[in-house]
Chains A and B, each alone.
Chain A
């Protein structure tokens, strides 16, 4: 069975919603022109957490915890700062491994959130911001050609859309494969895994095929 439904429309308004998977800040405004790769929204998250059991690791009685703790919940810390210290013949110290913040101090356990990890939602196409999704991202509008496929690998690519003029079955064309680097190519030939690998080696930005043979399911 083959799927015969392919929708192709030219000069169509195309709207692309771009959103963060979790709430953050939107960095664009309605009407703003954006280019491919521009950041539309971002969320800042701690890069890593560290949990330290002060009571058990430093052998501190729970009721005397306050005496040995050097930082409070919510306080910012820098790399090397002493978080807890137990003086004695051998002083035992717990220091922050990186810049960060004390996010929890309970039951004798201190948790540090360290580093910064930015989660960004970037524009996959150039266009105009037509709508803001508060806290999450935006909708980009543009005029273009819309080709509705039945399956994709979910990635974004840009490049000129070019039909591949190459007959895989013609031995005389061997060695005359056209330059497709950076282009989004379309071919109506049946693409076996070997042909697919050969296409990939030519570094196109994208490949549009009329059908996928099952053997391609293992190719990434």
Chain B
């Protein structure tokens, strides 16, 4: 009898169940099922929705998840049930969050980075150094309709007067204003005040204490606060989603944010990699783009929601592979913002869709750059920091063809150097992240075997050459039997080289003196081995920033030619 584990990811549009089975000591995906997410309405609707999903999983795998009447029950009492269950959630409105800290650099900025992995929307920031008088501070706290308060700031044992005043105000806010949803409070500041904050605010289980996020002046460790943030997130979501408490109780699982779940795996990939590069994940959903990046032993993420306005429409039109009149473009974009989950019907719609995705990816990366200045992204120069692999996930990435997914990602990210682009087609990253703490072997074995699709290896050529000038020569070795192939790459060109369907293809990169292909020095080349991938090896010599014609028709044609080069 195999050992099972189940992951449920309650997404914005779909709820996915991923069942993993361990046979002969090796974990593998057993079955995947999904249903439309239903979190609105009463608790019975949510429960029935989860029951439908679990019954699908039961039918496909040899596992028990429901009782004899097909209803949700305590999993511990079921014979043949999974040993453990992970539950992640990205559905629901972002958590309205207030950040209270002693200074911008040492408290507020680290708190922003902390909450960004927990599906939070920062609606209020109270910087206690701004000397806001106590009445004005209280007024701001009262009127912001906050669901989660995160208090940080101060070195352990340091000055405490202003922080004490803020804690007192928070006590008033918590007790004086009745709330349908009880707000949660996370305290991660000066540890000398932790007990004071707990006894003063008297918020019971709604108060979550953590170690100081600021470990030493100028350095932060958000992981010290994750446990408290997870507890606060779970308590909020259980209050907000009728029926969730029952599901959590029956499955003996904890609810964690989907982005946090994915971040666990991204962090693991970065730590287990020996190439010295970071790891980047982009989850493109119809109404948001999540970016999670791990580099230099730290992890940051952001979930960016696209705001449609005149400037965004104008910028997105610049990425369209079809010439579309502004009114039609805007009509499609507005309709899409009302119904994020519809599918484009015509080629023109598809080009608008891809243009919007390019812009959404850029905006999301820029949002992460604002959150952490070390990320290395510039909207025109692209991502200058080295990330490998880049993992593309989310329902949007799964709907398009491989070369289209790659093209929109490339134009959004504008990577530098050499990188591998993977696709999380079955959306297993989040599923494995929620199960990783229960059995760390599971993600390791599943990722080794089958989790991701290799989309492409991208080599970006950075050269100060004029368009049309040769910047790189490539020699392709497909084995002893096949003749060596040679390719010349010119500035402004996007070139695709097909890889062997199985096994390794070897390429010798011979850049011109001034060309940088990510080998460490300009002019330095060498052999690289690439595994089989859906699109192949993509040589991007288009330059940074991308040089696009000003004329609309010519620009659309250029973009179309690039897309055509990658696969039509």
* A136 neighbours in B (Cβ, 8 Å): 180
Pick from B138, B180, B333: contact of A22, CB below 8 A. B180
- Determine whether B59 belongs to the interface, using a CB cutoff of 8 Å to chain A: no
- Determine whether A11 belongs to the interface, using a CB cutoff of 8 Å to chain B: no
Q: Which residue of B lies closest to A2 (CB)?
A: B335
The CA-CA distance from A80 to B338 in the complex, in Å, is: 53
| Interface pair B335/A1, CB less than 8 Å apart | yes
* B139 neighbours in A (Cβ, 8 Å): 48-49
| Interface pair B332/A107, CB less than 8 Å apart | no
Minimum CB–CB distance from A132 to chain B (whole Å) comes to 16
The CA-CA distance from A108 to B314 in the complex, in Å, is: 56
| Interface pair B176/A51, CB less than 8 Å apart | no
Q: Which of B172-186 contact A (CB under 8 A)?
A: 172, 176-180
| Interface pair B135/A50, CB less than 8 Å apart | yes
Known: A150-B338, A214-B330. Contact between A53 and B176, CB under 8 A?
Answer: no
The CA-CA distance from A1 to B179 in the complex, in Å, is: 41
* A113 neighbours in B (Cβ, 8 Å): 176
| Interface pair A214/B134, CB less than 8 Å apart | no
- Determine whether A31 belongs to the interface, using a CB cutoff of 8 Å to chain B: no
- Determine whether A151 belongs to the interface, using a CB cutoff of 8 Å to chain B: yes
The CA-CA distance from A53 to B169 in the complex, in Å, is: 12
Q: Which residue of A lies closest to B179 (CB)?
A: A22
* A48 neighbours in B (Cβ, 8 Å): 139
Q: Which of A111-159 contact B (CB under 8 A)?
A: 111, 113, 136, 150-151
Q: Which residue of A lies closest to B335 (CB)?
A: A1
Q: Which of A198-220 contact B (CB under 8 A)?
A: 212-215, 217
* A22 neighbours in B (Cβ, 8 Å): 177-180
The CA-CA distance from A111 to B173 in the complex, in Å, is: 12
Chain B interface size band reads 35 or more
| Interface pair B180/A21, CB less than 8 Å apart | yes
| Interface pair A51/B135, CB less than 8 Å apart | yes
| Interface pair A45/B177, CB less than 8 Å apart | yes
| Interface pair A1/B177, CB less than 8 Å apart | no
Q: Which residue of B lies closest to A136 (CB)?
A: B180
One digit per residue, 1 when the CB lies within 8 angstroms of any chain A CB and 0 when it does not, for chain B 154-181 equals 0000000000110011011000111110
| Interface pair B168/A23, CB less than 8 Å apart | no
- Determine whether B272 belongs to the interface, using a CB cutoff of 8 Å to chain A: no
Q: Which of A30-66 contact B (CB under 8 A)?
A: 43, 45-46, 48-51, 53
| Interface pair A109/B135, CB less than 8 Å apart | no
The CA-CA distance from A123 to B138 in the complex, in Å, is: 32
The CA-CA distance from A49 to B345 in the complex, in Å, is: 56
* A106 neighbours in B (Cβ, 8 Å): 168, 171, 200
- Determine whether A103 belongs to the interface, using a CB cutoff of 8 Å to chain B: yes
| Interface pair A46/B176, CB less than 8 Å apart | yes
- Determine whether B564 belongs to the interface, using a CB cutoff of 8 Å to chain A: no
| Interface pair B172/A49, CB less than 8 Å apart | yes
The CA-CA distance from A50 to B142 in the complex, in Å, is: 12
- Determine whether A104 belongs to the interface, using a CB cutoff of 8 Å to chain B: yes
- Determine whether B527 belongs to the interface, using a CB cutoff of 8 Å to chain A: no
- Determine whether A8 belongs to the interface, using a CB cutoff of 8 Å to chain B: no
- Determine whether A3 belongs to the interface, using a CB cutoff of 8 Å to chain B: yes
* B134 neighbours in A (Cβ, 8 Å): 51, 53, 109
| Interface pair B172/A1, CB less than 8 Å apart | no
- Determine whether B331 belongs to the interface, using a CB cutoff of 8 Å to chain A: yes
| Interface pair A51/B169, CB less than 8 Å apart | yes
| Interface pair B178/A1, CB less than 8 Å apart | no
Some 5 contacts from A to B, beta carbons below 8 A apart, are A51-B133, A51-B134, A107-B165, A214-B333, A217-B308
* Residues of chain A having any CB pair with chain B under 8 Å: 1-3, 21-24, 43, 45-46, 48-51, 53, 103-104, 106-107, 109, 111, 113, 136, 150-151, 212-215, 217
List 6 A-B pairs, minimum CB-CB distance, nearest first.
A214-B330, A51-B134, A23-B178, A51-B135, A22-B178, A214-B334
* Residues of chain B having any CB pair with chain A under 8 Å: 133-135, 137-139, 142, 145, 164-165, 168-169, 171-172, 176-180, 200, 308, 313, 327, 330-335, 338-339, 342, 344-345, 349
